[in-house]
Structure 1
Amino acid sequence: MQLNFTKMQGAGNDFLMIDGFSAPINLTATQIKKIANRNFGVGCDQLLIVEKTNLPNVDFKYRIFNADGGEVEQCGNGARCFVRFVVDKALTHKKEITVETASGLITLTLQDDGQVTVNMGAPIFEPAKIPFIADERQSQYLLKLRQESLSICAVSMGNPHAVTLVDDVETADVATLGPQIEAHASFPQRVNAGFMQIVDAHNIKLRVYERGSGETLACGTGACAAAVSGIMLGLLQSPVMVHARGGDLTIAWAGVDLNSQGMPVMMTGNAEIVFEGIIII
């Protein structure tokens, strides 16, 4: 089978975009792993399939798969690439798009300067909904690893995140700690591990070890989770500029309202086409 694809990147987080809107596309986990392999395939952090939706007043549906072939709920950088993809491919002429995802509906806006703003929805802190195994909700939790214990914030941005504070992201042992956090028994669906260094009240540096993909150059939902965690701890103020190895993202969050309901998180960043091609699978 020949498969047309568009390789895209958002803040260095790279994706293969597949048009399943014009004609249905079904890929197995084995095929996705082959495509995502950087030595024997095209190579990507994640693969995103654009599909038709059956929901009223919704423009598209998309599905996201990690490099290991597993389907995931959400991806902020992938959402931004999706907008550029459907606009550039003339699948829509709208600048504000509503999309069905595995984690619910999201709204995305293509700005005049080419940047994309994504309404990522409200963060989820309730342990059972992340999901995270804990006796009660806390601002931070102690996570016991093989050789040490870490204080983490647990939050879902449509997918689960564990955020820990570090003095210097460049010296943080992401390669060792990331896999331990990802597979920790307290996270029954595994978790994305974020390592956050606070620069000042509006700037952080971030590295993320993504569930099913390993460390990536950037992670949109990870940036949202880190900024929200810092704001909840009183260490950051909105808007927050998140500096990842692949680029910068701006995260805005108004916190929680008087009823303790989380306000939506707004993420703004770039999305670019790298190249297009055909792969035989």
Structure 2
Amino acid sequence: MQKKIHFAKMHGLGNDFVVINATHQAFDLTSLSIVGLADRHTGIGFDQLLIIQPSDRANYFCRIFNADGSEAEQCGNGLRCVARFLHETGFSSSSLQLETKAGIFPIAIKDYDHIRVTMGVPHIQNNLVELPIKNTTQPLHASVLSLGNPHAIIKVESVDTVRTDQLGAEISTHVFFPQGANVGFMQIVNQNHIRLRTFERGVGETLACGSNACAAICAGIVNGWLGDQVKVEFRHGDLWIEWDREKQLIHMTGPAAYVFSGEFLL
């Protein structure tokens, strides 16, 4: 007998998700066709699938799966959407902690356009390392860092002209990144404003990426390009990233949008 699984479709600045609360509807995760559900023509369509589960260390645990079925350690935009989902459905207050494979993330909801996530302490692994890339006349230099998931940040003159799909795919699967990487192409407008395009491993180019925005700001600060409070401009809106120098924590504030809810048969 087929089982109905309830879900919510949500997005953070166009980075879209299917959210499933597994704390009150049991199902076998191995029977879930993640790639099929992610298909935008024959499924629901999403960049990531977010599954809410119980946690012994925080309010809830969130498992994160990319559109290709691979599992991610964390997702900044996704955390904001899960926080709104739990708050809006009465499962949490406006202050909560979400656990992922990358650790525990404190979240505060001012309103659904201003959800603040403490993303932790970024770890710089290599700064401005040269990456050999095919069919490029100039060498590419990337800041390589981790916020629980891997990132490569590349400074560009304009995000409008960069070959995001081609370069992103090659860099994301470069031998330098044995587990893949989320690739950010950063255009600096001024010390408090950047534009960003992101190629996410396991997905492709997405309309926004919260953890990549944090990684870009961290790279910009380390290189002396940016201040401690920066607006990150995506195609469908902005994130605000703040660097706490004393505690070395990075904070992200932005919206979470509800699109629709529904159910599918499993």
CA-to-aligned-CA distance 1:193-215 (integer Å, 9 cap, x gap): 10000000100000000000000
Q: What is residue 130 of structure 1 aligned with on the other side?
A: none
Partner Cα distance (2:225, 2:257) in 1 = 32
Q: What is residue 34 of structure 2 aligned with on the other side?
A: 32
What stretches of structure 1 of length at least 5 have no aligned partner? 128-137
Partner Cα distance (1:21, 1:154) in 2 = 36
Percent identity over the alignment is 41
Residue 25 of structure 1 and its aligned partner are, at CA, apart by 3.6
Contact kept, 8 Å, 2:84 with 2:112, in 1: the verdict is no
Q: What is residue 252 of structure 1 aligned with on the other side?
A: 242
CA-to-aligned-CA distance 1:180-238 (integer Å, 9 cap, x gap): 00100111110011000000010000000000000000000010001111111000002
Letter in 1 for 2:171: I
Letter in 2 for 1:117: R
Give SS of 1:111's match. Answer: strand
Residue 23 of structure 1 and its aligned partner are, at CA, apart by 2.8
Give SS of 1:178's match. Answer: helix
Residue 29 of structure 1 and its aligned partner are, at CA, apart by 8.1
Letter in 1 for 2:196: L
Compute the TM-score of the two structures, normalised by the length of structure 2: 0.95
Partner Cα distance (1:85, 1:17) in 2 = 8
Give SS of 2:74's match. Answer: coil
Q: What is residue 177 of structure 1 aligned with on the other side?
A: 167
Partner Cα distance (1:249, 1:144) in 2 = 31
Give SS of 1:85's match. Answer: helix
Q: What is residue 83 of structure 2 aligned with on the other side?
A: 83
Partner Cα distance (1:247, 1:26) in 2 = 36
Q: Are residues 1:209 and 2:208 paired? A: no
Q: What is residue 47 of structure 1 aligned with on the other side?
A: 49
Letter in 2 for 1:142: E
Alignment of 1:8-19 (within 5 A): 8-19=10-21
Contact kept, 8 Å, 1:24 with 1:51, in 2: the verdict is no
Contact kept, 8 Å, 1:163 with 1:226, in 2: the verdict is yes
Letter in 2 for 1:90: G
| Cα separation, partners in 2 of 1:156 and 1:12, compared to 1, 3 Å | same
Residue 30 of structure 1 and its aligned partner are, at CA, apart by 6.3
Contact kept, 8 Å, 2:5 with 2:25, in 1: the verdict is no
Give SS of 1:212's match. Answer: coil
Give SS of 1:140's match. Answer: strand
Give SS of 2:55's match. Answer: coil
Residue 72 of structure 1 and its aligned partner are, at CA, apart by 0.4
Give the counterpart of 2:134 among 146, 162, 169: 146
Contact kept, 8 Å, 2:112 with 2:256, in 1: the verdict is no
| Cα separation, partners in 2 of 1:102 and 1:113, compared to 1, 3 Å | closer
Compute the TM-score of the two structures, normalised by the length of structure 1: 0.90
Q: What is residue 111 of structure 1 aligned with on the other side?
A: 110
CA-to-aligned-CA distance 1:138-189 (integer Å, 9 cap, x gap): 4210011122331000011111000001111011000110000010011111
CA-to-aligned-CA distance 1:23-67 (integer Å, 9 cap, x gap): 334323860111111011000010000111123xx2111100000
CA-to-aligned-CA distance 1:68-93 (integer Å, 9 cap, x gap): 0111000000000011000111112x
Contact kept, 8 Å, 1:30 with 1:69, in 2: the verdict is no
Residue 279 of structure 1 and its aligned partner are, at CA, apart by 1.6
Partner Cα distance (2:44, 2:145) in 1 = 32
Q: Pairwise CA RMSD of aligned residues?
A: 1.4
Q: What is residue 23 of structure 1 aligned with on the other side?
A: 25
| Cα separation, partners in 2 of 1:199 and 1:114, compared to 1, 3 Å | closer
